[in-house]
Chains A and B, each alone.
Chain A
């Protein structure tokens, strides 16, 4: 029989190895899944993980990596702070939607005014929108001890309904021939989150994602708040004795992740998506949870994990058109990745030992 023995300290080597092994096992597991669906497993895995980077049309797909990766990284960086301290914001999807509504709302309310101040104001409103939406679970948690997991998640469905209401009502394009959806911000120069350098797909959101990674790193490594977050995660009791205020931590972690999710939504609506519409949100807020874990809750890890997850999104789209793979297959694959990662994580904290057979009477 096998026996688990707790390591005195988590193994650093396995900390790095587990995510890599998880990706490899997911490729195998995903291959089996696709084979069961009647697709060629090697073809499918190659299309998803290799083609977007190195195929004939890679020049088109590579910039897409940044477009899809930026919101994932932005959201996951925020989530990772809370996850470290055991504060579970899983309603990032809702904060993303509200950020987009507030950001777009700021622009649409002054349309067609032309000013350089519009875009910065939109960024501010996007962040405030996401922040405010995240403050609902945060304040309920600190004031009444309400479970933040359930409240933040419920608010996703509320936000989705609000999004539907906005795209059918208040924000509907008056010149849209009755179609649902707002004016397209890509055609409103002052509000457009355009590429900073042509052909690179680097828009303001990508820049913010990079800044957030560096900010989070400094925060965790150098700032007292980061220390409190890490301390609470590793030993809540020690944190209590050290005088960490848990309420402050809840407000900070939820607020920070909400603001980043709101920013991600705002950059998306002003750039790649262009308009508020019923199907504006595509699940970045949920996928970011996987990104945060795959990146080991480490800012630079999250950056790599975000790009990898963006890769599977793009690869999934290619596989959908070339192999007829259902679009939801990628979601299942991403879920599978998290399973393997969580399973392999055991090796970071435990040693596997061969145990002698127990005495039986």
Chain B
């Protein structure tokens, strides 16, 4: 569904403005006009930094995962499983930790649905990891080294018939189904539906109904939880959709890090072809979700392109070209890519300052990257942000934190185009350090 009826007639800038306007005026009943004003001021701050203007103060947007639950006394398991406790914690968290965006509720992954489906890509509390752990990836070669052509020829068929049966227990029967593209003429309808008459497929369909019911319960609770915090505290979300770099789709969930690294040596052309094939899928994934949420930012966590994971030459050959196509595709849709470069990106700063990507159209959030260098390379070109270290949040002191944030803001926030954030997605951390990160951000970020 298009964002507006005249979408096709709009250019990228008009689309961007339409999305920004919609974001500033959401269908939410704010508790008061004053709260609505706070919401709109925050949206303005975030829009200003994207456009490389000096904001009213530095916006503060740390990545949150389990921390909103854990900091309010919930276990990891309760945070995921108990919607009522989470909703309560969610309000208390946002009252106590005065950041400028809603915590990232998509990081509180929908474990009830995982339970219904026997989801194998992650472990979560009570399923492979302890009750106090966050969800974790089970990385494996879910796609085999000799399956590139299957993926390239028909990604949808590959997903349903090869990949999903391996990562979702309930979907094992998908492996025996014909591709849906067989349904091209009436006579194929008969053979296509035969497997649906068998007990394993019917069992799968029942599990999908259970998952659907769990999903309805999940979205009702989560949408209400976010809407309530938004209406009470005037907090915009930080992103309205997600996508990934094509190379990361291969490396994170299909071939695995090790498998993909070997493919780069053993079958480089297939890797490049598969990445190209995934570009339109990656763009479409975000556009659909951002059209629904009516939020312009697209969260793009970047993994396998970090320093050390590829040489500069291989980054420029395997990683960047297709990520760039995704970024350009999103920008053309009026969306704002919000890249989170996990790990260090010091060796990538030159490559990602790519003049083919228009200035002031995206955000680079960093983790362990040297921020002064990031500013030197990207300042005046794209908004940057981050990078309060995980080690400091976990093992630091309040004074260390104050010093770090003051220095960071002094170094890079002077002329705008900066968002204060965390270098990691926060599960466990020292509550005093998280509070100080925000307090210091407010203090020093108002003086620039």
Q: Bound pair: A and B?
A: no
